[in-house]
Amino acid sequence: METAPAAVYEPRNARASSLYALVEDYYEEFERVYDDRYQQQYGPWRRVIGEVLRKYLECGDLHRGFARLGCGRCHYQTILAYSCKCRLFCPACHQKRILLFAEWLDTHILEQVSHAQYVFTIPAFPPTRERALTRTTAPPANASHLI
């Protein structure tokens, strides 16, 4: 009987994404023209915007730092690039935060039960002729308190 191969970690390639290309190509111009084009509508430039965008461009880059991970039992070693930790902007870091929060909810908040809850919805029935007629007629004169 043949066993399935172990899952292999594939690091993400942020530089191949369209979001990365957009930020890399247009960030400097965006920061330069922000005051003229966007300040009136969105308020003054906040430093955190620049910090988040610069961190995103460095996220997952081995040249910016990494951790060496190793298994004490089999002596396998690998390196893991540091992340930017910019949730709500960096897709990889935000996904990691969501998964950690879901695990925390499952461990600490949600009760382990042996059943599941299913919700069924019933579509609204088409109106009958009588209901359609009552909707189109005006309310009685003495029904002003109902409006």
DSSP string, 93-131: HHHHHHHHHHHHIIIIIS---S--------PPPPPPHHH
Most confident range (mean pLDDT) of 3-17, 33-47, 74-88 is 33-47
Query: For residue 102, is pLDDT > 70?
Result: yes
Question: Taking the model in full, what pTM does it have?
Answer: 0.56
Which neighbouring-strand residues pair with 80?
67
Domain edges within the chain: 14-109
Which neighbouring-strand residues pair with 19?
none
Residues 6+ apart with CB under 8 A from 4: none
Residues 6+ apart with CB under 8 A from 74: none
pLDDT of residue 113: 77
- Indicate the range of 31-35, 76-80, 85-89 predicted with least confidence: 85-89
DSSP state of 8: -
Task: Read off the pLDDT band of 63 (50, 70, 90).
Answer: confident
Give the residue from 7, 8, 19, 11 showing the smallest Cα distance to 62. 11
Query: For residue 97, is pLDDT > 80?
Result: yes
Task: Read off the pLDDT band of 129 (50, 70, 90).
Answer: low
- Indicate the range of 16-20, 63-67, 130-134 predicted with least confidence: 130-134
pLDDT tens for residues 27-46? 999 999 999 999 999 999 99
| AA identity, residue 4 | A
- Cα separation, 12 vs 91, whole angstroms: 10
pLDDT of residue 91: 84
